[in-house]
Amino acid sequence: MSAHETQNDLRNAMLQAMRRLAKSVSVITCIHNGQRYAMSASAVDSLSADPPSLLICINRSSSIHPPLFQGADFCVNILASNQQDIALACAGRLKGEERFTAGSWNANANGVPYLADAQASVICRQDGRFEYGTHSVFIGRIEEIFVGNTVSPLVYVDGVYTTSAPLPPELACA
């Protein structure tokens, strides 16, 4: 087996393994030179509580990558289970400004768009980045958070949208 075949096999196995990693679905938004951008993402995670920060991983071929690469601040909008239409719109069904026709959008004082009825919207000042493979990892220092009243995440696993179900009381953690 050649090194290329081994890398290809490893890539395919990794993709299959990642299908088993359930992740909450978010829509990442930003504004740059008066243009709003949005994309669905599951490659989002907390980074540190001190300072409060998170990270997002963005493919360099994504339309939101250039404004983020130029330093645009961003928002991570954590979607609720009833917001699959927004996830699909921002995953490519709609393009550009059309993506903001799905959902109810507001903007903070700096113009960063956020989803008014998301489970949570976390607005970040960009605080670092690095490139790796096909992606850039952007670090956001949290500046503002809007939290909804319910916890009912939209989840992506094995190529489909779903939601989490609570465990029976005897299996649930306190």
| Predicted confidence (pLDDT) per residue in 129-160, tens digit | 999 999 999 999 999 999 998 889 999 998 88
pLDDT tens digits, 68-96: 999 999 999 999 999 999 999 999 999 99
pTM above 0.85, yes or no: yes
What are the φ and ψ backbone dihedral angles of 148, each rounded to 5 degrees?
-80, 180
| CATH pick for 23-150 out of 2.60.40.10, 1.20.120.140, 2.30.110.10, 3.10.105.10 | 2.30.110.10
* Residues 153/118, Cβ–Cβ less than 8 Å: no
Q: How far, in whole angstroms, is CA 14 from its chain's centroid? A: 20
Domain ranges of the chain: 23-150
φ/ψ region of 103 (left if φ > 0, alpha if ψ in -120 to 50, else beta) reads left
pLDDT tens digits, 37-63: 999 999 999 999 999 999 999 999 999
Look at residue 1 and tell me whether its pLDDT is greater than 70: no
